[in-house]
Amino acid sequence: MANDKKLVEQITSMEEDFAQWYTDVVVKADLIDYTSVKGCMVLKPAGYAIWELIQRQLDDRFKATGVENVYLPMFIPESLLQKEKDHVEGFAPEVAWVTHGGLNELQERMCVRPTSETLFCDFYANDIHSYRDLPRVYNQWCSVVRWEKETRPFLRSREFLWQEGHTAHATAEEAEERTVQMLNVYADFCEQVLAMPVVKGQKTEKEKFAGAKATYTIEALMHDGKALQSGTSHNFGDGFAKAFGVQYTSKDNKLEYVHQTSWGMTTRLIGAVIMVHGDNSGLVLPPRVAPTQVMIVPIMQKKEGVLDKAYELKDMLSNFRVKVDDSDKSPGWKFSEQEMRGIPLRVEIGPRDIEAGKCMVVRRDNGEKIEVAIDELQTKVGELLDTIHNDMYNKALAHREENTRVAITWPEFKDTIENKPGFVKAMWCGETECEEAIKDETGASTRCMPFAQETLSDVCVHCGKPAKKMVYFGRAY
């Protein structure tokens, strides 16, 4: 038993040190490896397979709304990056610069894309001529680079994988509609695929994307009570179109600027899944993004017929993502490993089970053990995976609700932020200065102005001036 427990013992407990627990899980669950390139990681098979499942399901949802995929260059000439003033100020300090191609110095240096608004605008300026060419609803899956000083696996790395949608529309209304539509796609995806509840809302002027007119966000609450921005959708109005000359001829034969949006989600979502659902035994994967949904563990596998039966069960479960652990490790070790890797269901099958025509099914999310007749296994596994998804969602939602508190007065606000984890809902005057003062005094930033507004009081929690918006405040990753 001592040996079987080794895997688990190497994880720090969440309560002791959440950051260390996170790092332990990421490595022990075999999701990533560190590399010789500072701030960049290897996504190992177990980690990349989660991304593939996210990508496939998100891409299907995109395509159902008319999105088409494209691929643009990874380099941006410096002069192109500089065309939109706010945008270049936001990104220039954190890009990687290519200065030499082969043995020669480049005439103009280029950055590796931190995001591709400028490239899409340059492309659209050539590609869009008439109202017949609109809307353009394009997306790309790629990697981007931001030269961060502090990095953490999945949450903040110098290179990360993402999708970036970039659209162009004839009217401001249509652009606004698409911006909100994609935020809703993101929120539904988080809830229905990642079992992760999110708050939908708008970023403040201070927190919005460089060059955007409005940024919408989904914010999720991690197990430690910190917030994680999990996806954003931006409405650019015609600002970029004017900077890049993206124009079309309208039905009335007038030259008009297009209205644009962009929206993105990243491998950061894997960090969110870990920190929302994980526990002190390791990762807990939502069934719909679990690369292996069911691990079959044979008990006394050297006894005749046990391994054969295990493979038979595997065939029965072939419409799920299923594996048999037929390695020569002990069952106890296999159990720990399945738990560490967050596999939603374990099926134990041994000689006595075979005799009785049943097996033991164990849930990763709550440890429940369920005796199941073998001829009902297929139906039961399907039901259980759905039940686990729903239970994980509800547990995460309950955690968020317990950790979302209201503050009316400033002392209340300060006390809550200091002593309680989670979101604080409070009224705000709408002034950036006041927002900055709140952050300086407490470390809490404005996460979003939720779409679902409430009136908690008439005045700003900090300055006492008339309140304009209810805001979710929190400490964030």
First and final C-alpha spacing in the chain: 38
Residues whose CB is less than 8 angstroms from the CB of residue 308 and which lie 6 or more positions away in sequence, other chains included: none
Q: Interface with a second copy includes 138 (CB under 8 A)? A: yes
Tell me the site size for a second copy, rule CB under 8 A: 51
Q: Interface with a second copy includes 41 (CB under 8 A)? A: yes
Q: Interface with a second copy includes 398 (CB under 8 A)? A: no
Interface segment toward a second copy; rule CB under 8 A; list 142-150, 203-211, 292-300, 454-462: 142-150
Bridge partners of 174, per DSSP, are none
Q: Interface with a second copy includes 251 (CB under 8 A)? A: no
Q: Give the nearest distance from C-beta 267 to a second copy in angstroms.
A: 9
Round to whole Å and give the CA distance between 283 and 223: 13
Which of 230, 221, 163, 227 minimizes the C-alpha distance to 190? 230
Among residues 5, 13, 20, 68, the one that binds a second copy under rule CB under 8 A: 68
Round to whole Å and give the CA distance between 416 and 173: 40
Interface segment toward a second copy; rule CB under 8 A; list 70-78, 208-216, 355-363, 397-405: 70-78
CB contact burial 76-86 (16+ within 10 A = b; e otherwise): bbeebbebbee
Interface segment toward a second copy; rule CB under 8 A; list 38-46, 167-175, 333-341, 421-429: 38-46
Round to whole Å and give the CA distance between 165 and 58: 12
DSSP state of 13: P
Q: Give the nearest distance from C-beta 280 to a second copy in angstroms.
A: 26
Among residues 8, 27, 98, 434, the one that binds a second copy under rule CB under 8 A: 98
The answer to whether residues 169 and 256 touch, using CB atoms and an 8 Å cutoff, is no
Round to whole Å and give the CA distance between 47 and 34: 13
Q: Interface with a second copy includes 156 (CB under 8 A)? A: no
Q: Interface with a second copy includes 93 (CB under 8 A)? A: yes
Residue number with CB closer to a second copy (12 or 143): 143
Round to whole Å and give the CA distance between 402 and 398: 6
Tracing tokens 């427990």 back to the chain, one arrives at 5
- Do the bridges between strand 68-69 and strand 214-221 make them parallel or antiparallel, or are there none, so unpaired? unpaired
Q: Give the nearest distance from C-beta 97 to a second copy in angstroms.
A: 4
Residue number with CB closer to a second copy (46 or 434): 46
Q: Interface with a second copy includes 62 (CB under 8 A)? A: no
Helices (H), 144-211: 172-192
Q: Interface with a second copy includes 168 (CB under 8 A)? A: no
Q: Interface with a second copy includes 123 (CB under 8 A)? A: yes
The Cα diameter of the chain in Å comes to 81
Q: Give the nearest distance from C-beta 63 to a second copy in angstroms.
A: 10
Which of 323, 322, 400, 395 minimizes the C-alpha distance to 365? 395
Interface segment toward a second copy; rule CB under 8 A; list 72-80, 269-277, 330-338, 386-394: 72-80
Interface segment toward a second copy; rule CB under 8 A; list 116-124, 196-204, 268-276, 352-360: 116-124
Q: Interface with a second copy includes 112 (CB under 8 A)? A: yes
Rounded to an integer, what is the distance from CA 8 to the centroid of its chain? Answer: 26
Residue number with CB closer to a second copy (10 or 35): 35
Q: Interface with a second copy includes 27 (CB under 8 A)? A: no
Tokens encoding 40: 């960049």
Which of 367, 366, 368 minimizes the C-alpha distance to 391? 366
Round to whole Å and give the CA distance between 195 and 290: 12
Q: Interface with a second copy includes 31 (CB under 8 A)? A: no
Site for a second copy, rule CB under 8 A: 33, 35-37, 40-45, 48-49, 51-52, 68-77, 80, 93-103, 110, 112, 119, 122-123, 126-127, 138, 142-143, 145, 147, 158-159, 161
